[in-house]
Amino acid sequence: MRPITKGEWPIGPDGHPIDFFEHGEARPELIQRIGDYCSYCEMHLPYLHVEHMQPKGVVPGVALNWNNFLLACPSCNSIKGHAYLNINDYYWPDTHNTHLLFDFLPGGIVVMKSGYSADIDTTRVENTFKLTGLGRYAHNTTIDDRRWLKRKEAEDKAVLVALHYYVSCGMPESYIPSIVSMATGSGFLSVWMKVFESYPEVQDALIEGFAGTYPNCLTGNINRL
Ligand SMILES: [Zn+2]
């Protein structure tokens, strides 16, 4: 799950925080700051829902609250559901370094890591994994849930690009902007980071290239300071 920096509540032309009358009004600002990627599965989509971390309607005041907004694809939005949840039972991409939570295996498969540092609450990771349904693939997903297929497509592309980068002679670093362009067009930063894990120069460019990615995701702890 790509950790993001959403930033402070947007300021309107009058110099005051914007009063949202409808949550969809926050979409352009969110897309400008964190890119048009689902905040949970990282899918690149032209149309994303403005997602409420705490579902709107269950707690007063969260429906139009910038601090409660993320972007989500229809699958993540649907799977996450609309029931009350305790925010502190989960890790969130805009407040935690969620780069540390999951591993991305060949075949577009997402799993919990085999071990976590002492400052990461494993139960909280499990809750986050279940809430978003990121472990669904092939046999255990539905025809409408295309997240696994799209993740696998991104992985296939990243592997081909990495092979080309690996075998290219001369000045391979000149190829990095093209890699970033292809990656941002296909989404799933975490997949590209995994495929290019032996190439820190590419990883750094990817982190910079995906709008709003938490810049210290490779070195920071789960709790950002
Ligand atoms: Zn999603």
Q: Output the CA 185–ligand 1 centroid distance in Å.
A: 16
pLDDT in tens, 25-67: 999 999 999 999 999 999 999 889 999 999 988 887 898 999 9
Per-residue pLDDT, 139: 63
Dihedral of CA 58/25/11/35: which sign?
Answer: positive
Query: What is the reported pLDDT for 174?
Result: 86
* 164 CA to centre of ligand 1 in angstroms: 29
**Residue 14 CA, ligand 1 centroid: distance in Å:** 34
Each residue's pLDDT tens digit, 133-188: 999 986 666 668 899 999 999 999 999 999 989 887 666 788 999 999 999 999 99
Distance 44 CA to ligand 1 centre (A): 9
Cα 189 to ligand 1 centre (Å): 13
Residue 173 alpha carbon to ligand 1 centre in Å: 31
Q: Tell me the whole-structure pTM to 2 decimals.
A: 0.94
Q: What integer best gives the mean pLDDT of the chain? A: 93
Q: Spell out which residues have Cβ within 5 A of ligand 1, the ion.
A: 38, 40-41, 73, 76
- What is the predicted pLDDT for the residue at 64? 93
